[in-house]
Amino acid sequence: MRTVWIGWPLLLLCVGCSSHGHPHEHDHEHDHAHDHPAEAGHHEHGDGHAQGGDHATVSHSFADAELWAARFEDPERDAWQRPDEVLAALELPADGKLVDIGSATGYFPVRFAKAMPQGVVYGVDLEPTLVNYLNLRARREGLPNLVSLVCTADDPCVPE
């Protein structure tokens, strides 16, 4: 069984795929709008804008996992995230092990678990509410090979 680590490689791929196509400087406030619905939620979250201010480290409350699931699992996200292309590029083994660090509500981990039916997918996240949400989602969607775990910033708590 081959172990696949998802985190930095996927992050780099996702950041590369998430370009907004317009240059701009950022201070903490956002006073410009985006025309494409998929960019609206994406842009507010700060992806790809680590050049300064508090924007890159702004904290969010993840207490309402359903709210975040609606945002993270929005079908519009597929346009810029291109999950089918990501899965194809990873060439996941059906019986492998995969760790998704920062798994949130399961946008990628659910896809990974479906692509690796004889394997196991670990979704790890800092947020207990998101971990609970993903575990419930895995049960609801019949994915016994998907397990979500709470980790810390210092320890990704990767099993095995």
The reported pLDDT for the residue numbered 61 is 76
Q: Which residue range(s) make up the domain with 158?
A: 1-16+65-160
Instruction: Please indicate, yes or no, if residue 57 is contained in any of the structural domains.
Output: no
Strand-pair partners of 150: 125
Instruction: Please indicate, yes or no, if residue 43 is contained in any of the structural domains.
Output: no
Is the C-alpha dihedral spanning 18, 21, 25, 26 positive or negative?
Answer: negative
Number of domains in the chain: 1
Cβ-based neighbours of 112, under 8 Å, separated by 6 or more: 6, 87, 92, 98, 100, 121, 146
- DSSP per residue, 106-155: -HHHHHHHHH-TTSEEEEEES-HHHHHHHHHHHHHTT-TTEEEEE--SS-
Instruction: Please indicate, yes or no, if residue 95 is contained in any of the structural domains.
Output: yes
Instruction: Please indicate, yes or no, if residue 98 is contained in any of the structural domains.
Output: yes
| Cα of 102 vs its chain's centroid, Å | 6
pLDDT in tens, 69-124: 778 778 888 899 999 999 999 999 999 999 999 999 999 999 999 999 999 999 99
pLDDT band for position 147 (cuts 50, 70, 90): very high
Instruction: Please indicate, yes or no, if residue 53 is contained in any of the structural domains.
Output: no
Q: Are 114 and 78 in contact (CB under 8 A)?
A: no
34 or 125: which leads in pLDDT: 125
| Distance from C-alpha of 75 to C-alpha of 17, rounded to nearest angstrom | 16
Instruction: Please indicate, yes or no, if residue 22 is contained in any of the structural domains.
Output: no
| Distance from C-alpha of 86 to C-alpha of 94, rounded to nearest angstrom | 16
pLDDT in tens, 133-145: 999 999 999 999 9
Instruction: Please indicate, yes or no, if residue 5 is contained in any of the structural domains.
Output: yes
The reported pLDDT for the residue numbered 38 is 43
Query: Token digits for 73?
Result: 């699992």
pLDDT band for position 5 (cuts 50, 70, 90): low
| Distance from C-alpha of 14 to C-alpha of 150, rounded to nearest angstrom | 22
Instruction: Please indicate, yes or no, if residue 25 is contained in any of the structural domains.
Output: no
In terms of Cβ atoms closer than 10 Å to its own Cβ (0-12, 13-18, 19+), residue 151 is buried
pLDDT in tens, 43-70: 444 444 344 444 433 577 777 778 877 7
Q: Give the CATH number of the domain where residue 71 resides.
A: 3.40.50.150
Query: How many other CB atoms sit within 10 Å of the CB of residue 126?
Result: 15
